[in-house]
Structure 1
Amino acid sequence: MLRVLAVDDEKPLLEELLYLLRSDPRVRSAEGASDATEALRRITRALEAGPDGADGIDVVFLDIHMAGLTGLDIARLLAGFARPPLIVFVTAHEGFAVQAFDLKAVDYVLKPVRPERLAEAVRRACAQLGRAGEVPAAAGIPGVTGGPPGAAAPVPAAPAASALPAAAVPRRPAAEVTVADRTPDQIAVELGGVTRFVAIADIAYVEAQGDYARLHTDEGSHLVRIPLSTLEERWAARGFVRIHRRHLVALSRIDELRLDAGTTSVRVGSAELQVSRRHARELRDLLMRQATG
């Protein structure tokens, strides 16, 4: 089973990639790094500890365009080590496939990442490690062959040309929502290429994450590529109110309003959310009007 490090400087996309990797039974562990410096620190620690160490990394799933060092820069640095981890590039840009091939990448996965495509990249990584007999056998897991436990990972060989597409059809970014919702009462969300329609009435609150927003429902959360300010404007008539620069809340889903030492917060289900000073008075007035009909 694989120990994986995923590297992407866009937090929502990193979280989605980690979610998909952790869902794969061939992945023992998947940790994330949000920039090149953190990634190199973790990889260096893993290499110093050796393949048997607790911090060992078998495969790095690596974005290409990041602030500071790019994914290609990281791969070039790792090429100088005797036994580096395998590299899988995960990028929205199709024009770096040749450079990835030169750097002996195992695979080149285009965003938005589809679960079946990522599963193929995991299979190729397992097969490459397994061909050298360096991966412990994993019964019942396709694509993993036997080898002595704890053995060191070899320097990866160049992948077959079929692993690196020469061209691909451009796709819209992961988790991007369509401009028009399916109906006025629903919003379209995507995860791994699958589109779902979430009822707006089921959304308790919304959390800003850069250019994205995370919709929280009783069953879980969904990521959409819409700024919080856009949802605030669009859903104002549906009873959603801004309580903080990071949060938009359905007024009807607020269970408690708490005042403590000059700070205001609300409880929405199991979540406690801070209310900024600029929104506190307006929120109290709205809740009072709601309570009195």
Structure 2
Amino acid sequence: MLRVLAVDDEVPALEELAYLLRQDARVEHVSIAANGVTALQDMVQMIGAGERLDGVFLDIRMPGLDGFDLARLVGGFPSPPRLVFVTAHEECAVQAFELEAVDYLLKPVRAGRLAEAVRRLEAASAPPGANGADDVIPVELGGRTRFVPQQAVWFAEAKGDYVRLHTVDGSYLVRMSLAALERRWESSGFIRVHRSTLVSAKHVSELRYDGGRVLLTVGTETLTVSRRHTRQVREQLVRQFRADTPGVPR
């Protein structure tokens, strides 16, 4: 059961969001805050009292402390709650996901779409390895936003302040650090094989040795595993194989 906080400076929108959340059987408790400052104070108080907070449903454009500023502050908490942005502004999606948001809802919020956001929040809040959340990453393509599902990603490469996602359909550049992506997908079978490369274990079809190097076949690509990561990669791939193969001892 989830404990969440809804934040919006527009009272009718806040009341409607809280009402819809309370109708969801997966939501145990809903707190509300009418601005970013109050929300931050409430979260600090909850943490101080030892209360659990699983997620924050957060408007973006608010006076004073806006949603993005609040999200950055929340990210500094020891165990930050997951974020779901709820806004009328479609153009902010990429920035929201750079802040590791679980979902991005457009107003007016539909009950069915909110239920999907709650499902994603529930999956993201579960202990590592307890779910297979189908996370998505938004990428900008010629004025359009395309959502790339985690399941489609073969591997990701660090490119300065960006990450390039490689899929069967091509590659996409996203403004995000590889470390942030690794944290986000750590329970979904993604393995660090090099300081600049993160690989989806389920897309690895071969591991081989070549002149002292360890090579992986991932999709249609061949990647080199660094010496530092070789043992960990081998062990993690074996665990993945055992977990995915019925009848094989774990």
Q: Name the counterpart of 2:28.
A: 28
Query: Structure 1: how far apart are the matches of 2:78 and 2:129?
Result: 17
Query: Structure 1: how far apart are the matches of 2:67 and 2:40?
Result: 11
Structure 1 pair 62–107 and aligned structure 2 pair: CA distance change class (3 A): same
Q: 2:110 aligns with which of 107, 114, 119?
A: 114
Deviation at 1:132, TM superposition (A): 2.2
SS of corresponding position for 2:145: coil
Q: Structure 2 matches for 1:91-102, cutoff 5 A? A: 91-102=87-98
Specify which structure has the bigger relative contact order, considering alpha-carbon pairs within 8 angstroms and separated by 6 or more residues: 1
Normalised TM-score (structure 1): 0.45
Structure 1 pair 131–161 and aligned structure 2 pair: CA distance change class (3 A): farther
Q: 1:166 aligns with which of 142, 145, 149?
A: 145
Query: Structure 2: how far apart are the matches of 1:11 and 1:163?
Result: 32
Counterpart contact for 2:138–2:146, Cα < 8 Å: no
Counterpart contact for 1:5–1:32, Cα < 8 Å: yes
Query: Structure 1: how far apart are the matches of 2:135 and 2:44?
Result: 24
Deviation at 1:47, TM superposition (A): 2.3
> Structure 1, residues 119-143: CA drift from partner, whole Å, max 9, x if none?
0000000011125278xxxxxxxxx
Q: Structure 2 matches for 1:1-293, cutoff 5 A? A: 1-50=1-50, 53=51, 56-132=52-128, 159-161=135-137, 166=145
Q: Name the counterpart of 1:236.
A: none
Q: 1:47 corresponds to which letter in structure 2?
A: I
Query: Structure 2: how far apart are the matches of 1:78 and 1:70?
Result: 12
SS of corresponding position for 2:38: helix
Number of positions where the alignment pairs a residue of Structure 1 with one of Structure 2: 143
Deviation at 1:80, TM superposition (A): 1.3
Q: Could you list the runs of 4 or more consecutive aligned residues of structure 1 that deviate by over 3 angstroms after TM superposition?
A: 162-165
Report the RMSD for the aligned CA atoms in angstroms. Answer: 2.7
Deviation at 1:90, TM superposition (A): 0.2
Query: Structure 1: how far apart are the matches of 2:47 and 2:135?
Result: 23
Query: Structure 1: how far apart are the matches of 2:8 and 2:129?
Result: 30
Structure 1: gaps spanning 5 or more residues: 135-144, 146-156, 169-293
Structure 1 pair 163–17 and aligned structure 2 pair: CA distance change class (3 A): farther
Structure 1 pair 158–102 and aligned structure 2 pair: CA distance change class (3 A): farther
Q: 1:122 corresponds to which letter in structure 2?
A: V
